[in-house]
Amino acid sequence: MHALIIGGGIGGLTTALALHAAGIDCTVFEASAELRPLGVGINLQPHAVRELTELGLGERLAAAGVATREFVYANRLGQEIWAEPRGLEAGYRWPQYSIHRGRLQVLLWNAAVERLGAARLRPGHRLAGFGQDAAGVVTARFAGGATARGDVLIAADGIHSTLRAIFHPDEGPPKWNGALLWRATSRARPFRTGASMVQAGHRDRKFVCYPISVPGPDGLQEINWIAEQRYPADTPWPREDWNRPGRIETFLPLFADWRFDWLDVPALIGAAEAVYEFPMVDRDPLPGWTRGRVTLLGDAAHPMYPIGSNGASQAILDARWLALKLAMEPGIEAALAAYEATRRPATAAVVEANRGDGPDRVMDIVHERAPSGFAHLEDVVPRAELEATIMGYKRLAGMDPAALNARASWSPPRPA
């Protein structure tokens, strides 16, 4: 079997590594002519770290990211709503990593080059169309006229997926929920544990930050942050692009008084190296991902709001589950059906939960009931209500600690 993978992002590269580990031959076709480590920080949840660890990448991840130790929700005054341990400290068998997205992509790309050989990674190939014949041969056609033939085609080509647009020509652009995100990294002194992820505010104005490097000799570490503001839904929306520069003057005033005794938000914003602006967009869950021997994966299949830190993690889960099914099922069509039967409803549930603010709903609850802050949190919301919201999301996203620790591996059995 030879698989054609479209897209050399986190989803496509993990698919290549997972297929290779399962003994399945594949080639990755990436539109960009060269790999540029784009983006800012991203969180890899323990369910995704498990999959990458089982692909033999645990040590590389540990060297490239920060093992997140704590997660905190606070209101806009910096009053703590919820604090919990994360990763190994929360009892998972695998860490959670806060990591630079571009560094993660380079790590996966390099691992794929080492294991599959450079010839199996084909930059400068933008998918333009495809065909499949009755004999089961799938042909990918690229801009510029090149073609490639294989047995199965996996489109991991992101939120603007060419293949998704061919399947669903009337779908139109991604959907914007009115929120704009400004994302950057700043070098700053460690806060809290030095490996804490913090979310403060509420649905309409939020600040998120977490370190993505250990402190250097100057005592400073690289801190990834996201400032978010919601605008009226009829505001004309700017097309999402991870590299569009944003201007600090646009949003710094919104956070000018967010100075907590444990975190100085305006100072962190003011220390930004470069700011990127991004509208919060997703797409509706699809009624189907697969036609014949062609299927969708990652953001191409289920782009979701970056709430609950699950976009890349869910792409990694897709990749591993698809490789397992291709290795174990009696035929390619049966494997794609089994892949989609599990992963499509699972990811649709996360897309829908994120539209309702996912686990961040706990900040909205506190803001609705105590917009000016609180003396005793228990008077505003019982701890059990917060816990039910947060744990409910973990179960839905596949990151309930006990269930994840207990479930069987998705590595196919090794051939005898």
CA-wise closest residue to 21 among 47, 63, 61, 52:
52
Among 5, 17, 22, 40, binds ligand FAD (CB under 6 A): 40
Stretch that binds ligand FAD, among 36-44, 113-121, 232-240, 262-270 (CB under 6 A): 36-44
Cα–Cα distance for residue pair 64/58, rounded to 1 Å? 10
Binding track, positions 162-201, relative to ligand FAD; x by CB under 6 A: x---------------------------------------
φ, ψ for residue 288, nearest 5 deg: -165, 150
127 or 269: CB nearest ligand FAD = 127
Whether the Cβ atoms of residue 234 and residue 244 lie closer than 8 Å to each other: no
Amino acid letter, 206: K
Tell me the closest approach of the beta carbon of residue 61 to ligand FAD, in angstroms: 15
Whether the Cβ atoms of residue 156 and residue 298 lie closer than 8 Å to each other: yes
Tell me the closest approach of the beta carbon of residue 156 to ligand FAD, in angstroms: 5
Binding track, positions 88-117, relative to ligand FAD; x by CB under 6 A: -------------x----------------
Question: What is each CA distance from 38 to 92, 98, 100, 336, in whole angstroms?
Answer: 29, 15, 9, 31
**How crowded is residue 55: how many other Cβ atoms within 10 Å of its Cβ?**
21
Stretch that binds ligand FAD, among 40-48, 184-192, 230-238, 265-273 (CB under 6 A): 40-48
Site for ligand FAD contains 78 (CB under 6 A): no
275 or 366: CB nearest ligand FAD = 275
Site for ligand FAD contains 269 (CB under 6 A): no
Tell me the closest approach of the beta carbon of residue 127 to ligand FAD, in angstroms: 4
Q: What share of the chain is helix, strand, coil (3-state, %, to 5)?
A: 35, 25, 40
Whether the Cβ atoms of residue 269 and residue 255 lie closer than 8 Å to each other: yes
Question: If DSSP codes are grouped into helix, strand and coil, which group holds residue 176?
Answer: strand
Site for ligand FAD contains 120 (CB under 6 A): no
Stretch that binds ligand FAD, among 229-237, 295-303, 330-338, 398-406 (CB under 6 A): 295-303
DSSP labels for 299-324?
Answer: GGT----S-SS-HHHHHHHHHHHHHH
Site for ligand FAD contains 280 (CB under 6 A): no
Stretch that binds ligand FAD, among 80-88, 294-302, 322-330, 342-350 (CB under 6 A): 294-302
Name the pairing type of β-strands 70-74 and 196-202. parallel
Tell me the closest approach of the beta carbon of residue 76 to ligand FAD, in angstroms: 22
57 or 366: CB nearest ligand FAD = 57
Tell me the closest approach of the beta carbon of residue 375 to ligand FAD, in angstroms: 35
Tell me the closest approach of the beta carbon of residue 295 to ligand FAD, in angstroms: 13
What is the 8-class DSSP label of residue 272? B
């991604």: which residue's tokens?
174
CA-wise closest residue to 12 among 409, 285, 300:
300
Residues that bind ligand FAD (CB under 6 A): 6-12, 29-32, 38-42, 101, 126-127, 156-158, 162, 242, 298-300, 306, 309, 311-312, 315
